[in-house]
Structure 1
Amino acid sequence: MRMVFRWFGEGNDTVSLSHIKQIPGVEGIVWALHDVPAGEEWPMEKIFEVRDQAVKHGLHLDVVESVNVHEDIKLGRPTRDLYIQNYIATIEKLAQVGVKVICYNFMPVFDWARTELHKKMDDGSTALFFEKSRIDGIDPFKLVEEINRNSTLTMPGWEPERLAHLTSLFEAYKGVSAEDLWEHLAYFLKAVVPAAERCGIRMAIHPDDPPWPIFGLPRIITGQESLRRLLRIVDSPSNGITLCSGSFGANPENDIIGMIHEFHERIPFAHIRNVRVYDNGDFIETSHRTQDGTVDIAGIVKAYHDHGFSGYARPDHGRHLWDEECRPGYGLYDRALGIMYLWGLWDALERVEPIHGKGGTV
């Protein structure tokens, strides 16, 4: 397991590279060019700039999250071919700086949804919270206002250029079914996966968050069967999965450990985090510790260890602790604590059943 840490760039993150470097076992950053709109080809000079910043602190930039997919590709519009060519050109550029994995998603309009960014927990910390009954009836435009009001930093999945066209996007998705979205995803993958293969890069789709339709929009990467269908579209190691235990874990019916056992060869990137799911469908993001949530984090780490996982992993979201001012879900303290919990589980397993010498997944 190779530990990495998401970083949003100088001037756009409250966590510095020097802080990240001090977390034991972290070897690289998970990055993106967040100021480049979806669909545009990434400029090489900006890619080199991030590379130089990472190398200066002894960190690699093997994992990109995300090269966002333009909505015209998801909608299957005639203009998608132009945006796919830009995507391929970006893949080729990223290969020049040693990128090995590109995390992306295929969620219409919104990458993720929560109803509260700072829900207070019993211990005084706050966390991202999803209230199911509220999301079922909420006006998405009001949710956008709340997101913008509660964060002065760029929120991944809620980029201003995307939200500026919210009305037209909702109109465009009327009549787009889940099957239509699958067809558009297949078209995209059949074009970009061969390019990724040539470049030695693995595409790794992120599951929908939460893993069910919201606001009347279709969502398709929601569970084990959808992953089987995804991997059948292009049977290649470069067509892979970002297995996010928090996203899949919001639906207690998802067998995340079973997913790891079934798909481990196609998982180059793991997001490991916990959520507590309530009987009414609400969920809140907790500490990474197994007993604090509903997701069996200890069992998940063991499943990765059983298969000699040598892919990349990150702690994903965290709570907001000790009055830290940070982007919601992306502070330093709880994610660092999460890393140490994950390493503790891994190190204990290594003492019982070392995996050295086994083949990994990357």
Structure 2
Amino acid sequence: MEQTWRWFGPDDVIQLLHIRQTGATGIVTALHHIPYGVVWSIEEIEARKALIAADASLGLRWSVVESLPVHEAIKIGEGDLEPLFDNYRQSLRNLARCGVTTICYNFMPVLDWTRTELAHPLPGGGTALRFNAHEYAAFDCFMLERPGAEAELSPEVLARAKDWFDRSSESDRRKLLANIMAGLPGAFDRYDIPGLRRMLDRYREVDAQRLRENLARFLYEVIPVAEEVGVRMAIHPDDPPRPLMGLPRIVSNDEDLAYIVGAVDSPSNGITLCTGSLGAGPMNDVPAIAKRFASKIHFAHLRNVAKEPDGSFMEADHLGGDTDMVSVVTTLLEEQQRRKNAGNPNWRIPMRPDHGHELLDDVGKPTHPGYPAIGRLKGLAELRGVMTAVSSMRGLPL
């Protein structure tokens, strides 16, 4: 597999030379400064490519776009969408012309990944991302005051949520809001409570079925162009894979993925296998999902989570947690072998170590939440070891 690394661009604390030290050679990045719905011009794409390749001794290339965002109006199905579809298609053409042909995107309404703690303490002084069910419930029920939210909770979680809210300070509540907003590294909107309510109100008539239909329409509009220019679209699963704040989630399990890849039958219509996002769903068998959709996996995020009975979960070590990572890696290497045997020139699957603990000298540095250097370096080293061992034992290409 091609070992890649997410880089947030020129302002990222982690520099390209640091990435090369990890052993990764592929860069996963996006033009976060361009507003959603605006065309990514060839000039902007080439400027980012040139920045990545400026030091030839590093041997880095722009391997994957993460993400080319889908405008919120497309998800809602709101207004005249043709200009937005036209712009998205043009961005795909421009990326293909510049040789960047793997595109990760998501269809999560309003928020991307969601956590309530960004620095949960670990033994020895490290920190991890964590989703606490009672804190999320406190936000939804008592800060956002969403009608009907309390009825969706177990009595135990609701009681803990009320206790947290009653004891919390204004500072605690501001921090919880900021943590929940932190999964939007490239977004131009950071909602306050009134703004979030207004955004949710735009989704008032959008249930899971309508959101699914809006996703299907998006695929009908863009996948033919993606196939024409040789772009591989890879949808990212919901994180966490459950409804949030009354918003539906439609990329949460194997049935959702089956619908998506079947909506438009094309080699360009595929998925990002995110083992952490899918792994946060109690009913998801991630190794089985990897096997079922192996031929549709265009990109892989490899990380692990440890789940708790109340719906809470925490980012675990990459080889810890609830998902059998050896099984997943084996499936990906076997799929690579199948593609290579079939003569596919793009047989390698790009992967990256997703999220990581804050460790050692990274503790307290202003890195993007979940994306410190040392924790991801540790994860990549562990995953590389698994990849090498499985490859050697089974005679599979790396």
TM-fit CA distance, 1:22: 1.5
* SS state at 1:241 partner: strand
Distance 1:66 1:144, change over 3 A: farther
Alignment match, 1:132? 133
1:277-296 paired onto structure 2 within 5 Å = 277-289=307-319, 292-296=320-324
Cα deviation, 1:250-278, whole Å, max 9, x if unaligned, reads: 01321111111111111010000011111
Instruction: Work out the CA distance in 1 between the residues paired with 2:211 and 2:124.
Output: 42
Stretches of structure 2 lacking an aligned partner (at least 5 in a row):
145-169, 338-347
Distance 1:20 1:144, change over 3 A: farther
Query: In the alignment, residue 49 of structure 1 is paired with which amino acid?
Result: A
**1:351 has 2:381 as partner:** no
Instruction: Work out the CA distance in 2 between the residues paired with 1:222 and 1:160.
Output: 25
Query: In the alignment, residue 163 of structure 1 is paired with which amino acid?
Result: Y
Aligned-pair Cα RMSD in Å:
2.2
TM-fit CA distance, 1:281: 1.6
Q: What TM-score, normalized by structure 2, do the two folds share?
A: 0.84
TM-fit CA distance, 1:47: 1.3
Q: Tell me whether 238-247 or 78-87 shows the greater mean CA deviation.
A: 78-87
Alignment match, 2:266? 236
Stretches of structure 1 lacking an aligned partner (at least 5 in a row):
none
Q: Tell me whether 73-82 or 203-212 shows the greater mean CA deviation.
A: 73-82
Instruction: Work out the CA distance in 2 between the residues paired with 1:249 and 1:80.
Output: 34
TM-fit CA distance, 1:42: 1.5
Cα deviation, 1:239-258, whole Å, max 9, x if unaligned, reads: 00001000000013211111
1:69-88 paired onto structure 2 within 5 Å = 69-88=70-89
Which structure is higher in helix share?
A: 2
TM-fit CA distance, 1:84: 1.1
Instruction: Work out the CA distance in 1 between the residues paired with 2:13 and 2:135.
Output: 30
Instruction: Work out the CA distance in 2 between the residues paired with 1:87 and 1:306.
Output: 33
Alignment match, 1:28? 26
Alignment match, 1:319? 357
TM-fit CA distance, 1:129: 0.5
Instruction: Work out the CA distance in 2 between the residues paired with 1:59 and 1:214.
Output: 38
Instruction: Work out the CA distance in 2 between the residues paired with 1:172 and 1:281.
Output: 27
Distance 1:148 1:29, change over 3 A: farther
TM-fit CA distance, 1:154: 8.0
Larger radius of gyration: 2
**1:93 has 2:94 as partner:** yes
Instruction: Work out the CA distance in 1 between the residues paired with 2:42 and 2:104.
Output: 19
Alignment match, 2:154? none
Distance 1:88 1:183, change over 3 A: same
TM-fit CA distance, 1:146: 2.7
Pick from 160, 163, 172 the counterpart of residue 188 of structure 2. Answer: 160
Distance 1:334 1:108, change over 3 A: same
**1:50 has 2:91 as partner:** no
Alignment match, 2:370? 329
Pick from 182, 196, 200 the counterpart of residue 170 of structure 1. Answer: 200
